[in-house]
Amino acid sequence: MAGTDRTVETLAGGPAIVLVEPQLGENIGMVARAMANFGLSDLRLVAPRDGWPNEKARAAASRADHVIDAARVYDTVRDAVADLTWLLATTARPRDSVKPVRGPKAASAALRTRISAGQPAGILFGRERFGLSNEEVGLADEIVTFPVNPAFASLNIAQAVLLMSYEWMQSGGEEGAEEAPRFAPAEAEPAEKGDLHRLLDHAEGLLDRLGYFRPPERKVALSEKLRTTLTKANFNRMEVHALHGVLKHVELKLNKDES
């Protein structure tokens, strides 16, 4: 549908949109177009199948060139979200995880609150064919799922991004907004995902040395539960550094005992 007004300043900002191993360039282009429709601009691609840049993506973006040109490519999900402090994972399937689950409206309101406070946040979208793995969902703080027909719950990636982009823009409206409190406690600086992942790697490595993961075939499941538990805590930067200090003390004692 026509109607683009080139005299109006392009909206930008909002949460990062992270696409995990997107396949067709056309799908990436339609995602970029959906983002531009609702004022999003931070597109991150994890190992796109057909490489990047991609002219089919640009053609399908329908002049959302500012999103396509600024898109960044990463080798892994962890790299793509390392600078974020809060992450949502989209999924249509129930998971064994005990992470909080939100609908798109509540999720967008939570994103708006955090981003307005200067905390970088993002939304993780899975592969066109089978979505996100349990490990990838485990990197997120919360899950967002869409109220669709359970008998036909599959959305294509552009539809999913369009829904979240629309709710993001809607969350910026004034209608129904609660009166702001007169004062609020000081906000602790949230930890970046990269720092949190290094803490989790450190903890897992020490537990492995101590023989925690028994029997060996249960290691993956136990590791996922540990990472989910620690991610839910939503540690701030100071807490992550403090926990690193604790682990380093344990590591020094372990090295001494083994020498």
Are residues 159 and 224 both part of a single domain? no
* pTM (2 d.p.): 0.81
Dump pLDDT digits (tens) for 214-247. 998 999 999 998 998 889 888 999 999 999 999 9
Chain mean position to CA 195: 15
Are residues 124 and 234 both part of a single domain? no
What's residue 21's pLDDT? 97
In a domain, 158, yes or no: yes
- The answer on pLDDT for 145 being more than 50 is yes
Are residues 113 and 30 both part of a single domain? yes
The bridge status of strand 121-125 relative to strand 142-144 is unpaired
What's residue 49's pLDDT? 95
In a domain, 165, yes or no: yes
Band of residue 186 on the pLDDT scale cut at 50, 70, 90 = low
What's residue 30's pLDDT? 97
Are residues 126 and 209 both part of a single domain? no
Q: What DSSP state is assigned to residue 123?
A: E
3-state secondary structure of 30: helix
What's residue 130's pLDDT? 87
Q: How many CA atoms lie within 13 A of 28 on its CB side?
A: 34
Are residues 24 and 121 both part of a single domain? yes
The bridge status of strand 121-125 relative to strand 16-20 is parallel
Dump pLDDT digits (tens) for 13-71. 699 999 999 999 999 999 999 999 999 999 999 999 999 999 999 999 999 999 999 99
- The answer on pLDDT for 182 being more than 80 is no
Distance, CA of 30 to CA of 44 (rounded, Å): 14
Check which CATH number belongs to the domain holding 139 and give it. Answer: 3.40.1280.10
Are residues 166 and 210 both part of a single domain? no
Dump pLDDT digits (tens) for 76-99. 999 999 999 999 999 877 766 678
In a domain, 155, yes or no: yes
- The answer on pLDDT for 181 being more than 60 is no
Are residues 102 and 203 both part of a single domain? no
Q: How many CA atoms lie within 13 A of 51 on its CB side?
A: 3
Are residues 149 and 199 both part of a single domain? no
Are residues 39 and 127 both part of a single domain? yes
Are residues 150 and 201 both part of a single domain? no
In a domain, 92, yes or no: yes
**Number of folded domains that form the chain:** 2
Are residues 100 and 40 both part of a single domain? yes
- The answer on pLDDT for 165 being more than 60 is yes
Q: How many percent of the chain have pLDDT more than 70?
A: 88
Q: How many CA atoms lie within 13 A of 153 on its CB side?
A: 12
113 versus 1: the higher-pLDDT residue is 113
In a domain, 94, yes or no: yes
Torsion sign, CA atoms 122, 126, 131, 134: negative
What's residue 98's pLDDT? 74
Domain around 217: 193-258
Measured at the alpha carbon of residue 143, what is the angle toward residues 137 and 147, in degrees to the nearest 5?
130
